[in-house]
Amino acid sequence: MADLELVVVIGSFEAQAGRQSELAAVLAKYVVLTRRQPSSRNVDLVSSAANPARLVVIEKWESAIDARAHLDAAETVEMARGARDLLAGPPDLDLYESISAQDLE
């Protein structure tokens, strides 16, 4: 498989003490809904082995325009509202350009 030009969005979320499962449920729903978007190439939800309160969403998009547009999508707004009271602090979101990426399709 050849390398692709993909844009990657990584969001790191830290749950308040004892709220990890609730936050994981909100993020898991977001991941499932985001995977359905036509320009979404892949979305994963992982948890830190060192800090179970930290959850990370890794999204791969066809373009930066698609990734930025998704910030205003209904599922993103719903996730933000659902996560707001579960977070220990603001999430850390960043947009990355791929250097070497592989698509699973």
- Give me the pLDDT at residue 6, please: 87
- Give me the pLDDT at residue 104, please: 56
Mind giving me the DSSP string for 28-58? HHHHHHHHTSTTEEEEEEEE-SS-TTEEEEE
For each of the chain's 105 residues, which pLDDT tens digit applies? 455 678 999 999 999 999 999 999 999 999 999 999 999 999 999 999 999 999 999 999 999 999 999 999 999 999 999 999 999 999 999 999 877 766 655
In a domain, 102, yes or no: no
Q: Domain range for residue 54?
A: 7-97
In a domain, 2, yes or no: no
The total of other beta-carbon atoms located within 10 Å of residue 75's CB is 16
What total number of domains does the chain contain?
1
pTM of the model: 0.89
CA dihedral 82, 86, 87, 92 (to 10 degrees): -30
Instruction: Please report, for the domain that includes residue 26, its CATH number.
Output: 3.30.70.100
**Residue 104 DSSP one-character state:** -
Q: For residue 25, which phi and psi values (nearest 5 degrees)?
A: -65, -40
